Structure 1
Amino acid sequence: MVVYRFLLTPRWLGILALTLVAAAVMVLLGNWQLDRYHARTAINERIDAGLRMDPVPLRDALPAPPGGNGTAGPAPAAERAWTKVTATGRYDTSNVILVRGRTVDRKVGFEVVTPLVLADGTAVLVDRGWIPPAPGGDATAQPPVPAAPSGEVTVTGRVHLSESGSVAVSRRDGRLETRRIGVTQLAGELPYPVHGAYLLLDEQDPAADPTFKGVPVGYTNNWQNFGYVVQWWIFAAMTLFGYGWVARREARRLAGPVEERPVDRAAEPAPRDGDPVRAAR
């Protein structure tokens, strides 16, 4: 082990420190991706649970908005996302919201969101489904929107958290338009308190217009995060292995070539007469 004393020199101690820091950072990055894998797995499990469960009353998943008109209530707890709920009220057809730039089956169109006003005067936004743009126009051409049922409507849908990001809300041809379903921003355009999440419609009584296509639920790609976990941890192991390999190569270089032992000719047995070796000599 004397040959490895060079590892105690300042240069090699510095290399070791950098190696350990790099490996530690890679392990931490792997742990971070592992946390994201668990979080995304939990989301997918909630989506599956929402598909299987029986619907519960809206109030069991969403607290009532405590503020006044034009305000949004608190967002539900994360574990309440994708809960299947049922609610009864009347659609406010004077405040239909068109969410443009939404893709279903590789086609760009609009999601139609309509406030459902409940008996207590509050409302919950209901994503009634996807429709294509107006025929002959581009992807931003406002489509003809199928009329919402008049009178009392009972909807069954899954709780969808408000979409993040600040996006302008405008009114065009009597309809609100936006790019994201941001409940807080949309609530500011409406004349009643709004619940802090919206519903992705599954069923409706009276039945929904067949023009609407159901908005698919987006599962998270949790296995991609798991792949990153394995990748970062392998990189950490390779970094440590590389340090050991370089150190061993340096030790062999310092040790120098192995000298061959000299052949003692005197110790060789004397060749006999007629021995081909003697004849060769």
Structure 2
Amino acid sequence: MYRFLLTPRWLGILALTVAASVVMVMLGNWQLSRYEQRSAINERIDAAGRLDPVPLTEVLAAPGGGAGTAGPAPHRDAAWTRVTVTGRYDSTNVVLVRARSVESRVGFEIVVPLVLADGTAVLVDRGWVPPAPGGAAAQPEVPPAPEGEVTIVGRVHLSESQPGTIGRRDGRIETRRIAVPELAAELPYPTYGAYLLVDEQTPAADAAFVPIPIRHENNWQNGGYVVQWWLFAGMALVGYGYVARREAHARSGKRRPRGDRLEAPAVAPPAAATRD
């Protein structure tokens, strides 16, 4: 009944079905790995908020090069770790990061180098401010950085991977992305390979700054894709079985011998009534 499945045509269909199912299972496995990675990031974000900050040098390797160089980028597991560091803001090298959105409003993130006692520096994202009247690209009013020693408690943020164009406007560095190696090249000292988002500052940060929110990764989206791809793989195999079964029944019906047509037996007419 199912011998036709061994024909070249049906063997080819089976091979394509299996190959498609394997690919879809592999895509599901990849999405599963993304789900696990994003879940781990969310766990680090939550855990960091409950832990005491540690010294910066326990998380980030000190830059070993000269002026204008960046230190080694930390492992991704270092992201969102709370650290503390003390230094002095370099207000002559303020970085305006344009076109950044907070709560659906477009403005600027203000990044300032914090120069440490050993002459190295770490970039500190002080927060978000709105643009000046005149449009989203209008340079904002930036509250001055406090003078003297400043102690920062912040979260480690990895360098953004896509460098933007870096320029200067009115004596300030302006860019679209916080790409640490590219920004370090504009500075007169070696810089750590990641930057910090301010959680706390002593003396206190200006109230004009809006803290940069730390968004959790959308790991459930990847979880949904896992289920989707695995379902597609199963449906492909079930679909092959369904089509093969229909074909088998169709072939069986064509081969079924047709029985002789039975005719009703002739019934003799009733005898005519005779008259006496």
Short-chain TM bin: over 0.9
Q: Which runs of 5+ in 2 are unaligned?
A: 266-276
For residues 46 and 197 of structure 1, the distance between their equivalents in structure 2, rounded to whole angstroms, comes to: 17
Quote the residue 1:130 is aligned against: 128
Report the CA distance between 1:166 and its aligned residue.
Answer: 2.5
- Equivalent AA in structure 1 for residue 103 of structure 2: D
Identity, in percent, stands at: 67
Report the CA distance between 1:52 and its aligned residue.
Answer: 1.1
For residues 41 and 263 of structure 2, the distance between their equivalents in structure 1, rounded to whole angstroms, comes to: 79
- Equivalent AA in structure 2 for residue 147 of structure 1: P
User: Does the C-alpha gap of structure 1 residues 263 and 8 become closer, same or farther in structure 2, counting only changes over 3 Å?
Assistant: same
Quote the residue 1:251 is aligned against: 248
For residues 172 and 32 of structure 2, the distance between their equivalents in structure 1, rounded to whole angstroms, comes to: 44
Quote the residue 2:117 is aligned against: 119
Q: How does 1:101-116 map to 2 (within 5 A)?
A: 101-116=99-114
Q: How does 1:196-275 map to 2 (within 5 A)?
A: 196-256=193-253
Report the CA distance between 1:260 and its aligned residue.
Answer: 6.8
Quote the residue 1:164 is aligned against: 161
Aligned mate of 1:39, from 37, 40, 45: 37
For residues 250 and 83 of structure 2, the distance between their equivalents in structure 1, rounded to whole angstroms, comes to: 72
For residues 61 and 21 of structure 1, the distance between their equivalents in structure 2, rounded to whole angstroms, comes to: 45
**4+ runs deviating over 3 angstroms:** 257-266
For residues 67 and 262 of structure 1, the distance between their equivalents in structure 2, rounded to whole angstroms, comes to: 100
CA displacement, residues 44-68 of structure 1 (integer Å, 9 cap, x when unaligned): 1111111111000000111100110
Aligned mate of 1:93, from 91, 94, 97: 91
Give 3-state SS (helix, strand or coil) of 2:125's partner. Answer: strand
Indicate if the aligned counterparts of 2:163 and 2:178 stay in contact, CA closer than 8 A: no
- Farther off after superposition, 23-32 or 250-259: 250-259
- Equivalent AA in structure 1 for residue 149 of structure 2: E
For residues 143 and 189 of structure 2, the distance between their equivalents in structure 1, rounded to whole angstroms, comes to: 24
For residues 103 and 67 of structure 2, the distance between their equivalents in structure 1, rounded to whole angstroms, comes to: 37
Quote the residue 1:14 is aligned against: 12
The reply on whether 1:140 has 2:137 as its aligned counterpart is: yes
- Equivalent AA in structure 1 for residue 216 of structure 2: Y
For residues 107 and 66 of structure 1, the distance between their equivalents in structure 2, rounded to whole angstroms, comes to: 39
Quote the residue 1:194 is aligned against: 191
- Equivalent AA in structure 1 for residue 128 of structure 2: W
Query: What value does the CA root-mean-square deviation take over the aligned residues?
Result: 1.5
For residues 162 and 40 of structure 2, the distance between their equivalents in structure 1, rounded to whole angstroms, comes to: 23
TM-score, normalisation: structure 1: 0.91
- Equivalent AA in structure 1 for residue 104 of structure 2: R
Q: Give the total of aligned pairs.
A: 263
- Equivalent AA in structure 1 for residue 59 of structure 2: A
CA displacement, residues 195-227 of structure 1 (integer Å, 9 cap, x when unaligned): 000000000000000000000012111110010
CA displacement, residues 104-138 of structure 1 (integer Å, 9 cap, x when unaligned): 01100000000000000000000000000002x11
For residues 166 and 178 of structure 2, the distance between their equivalents in structure 1, rounded to whole angstroms, comes to: 10
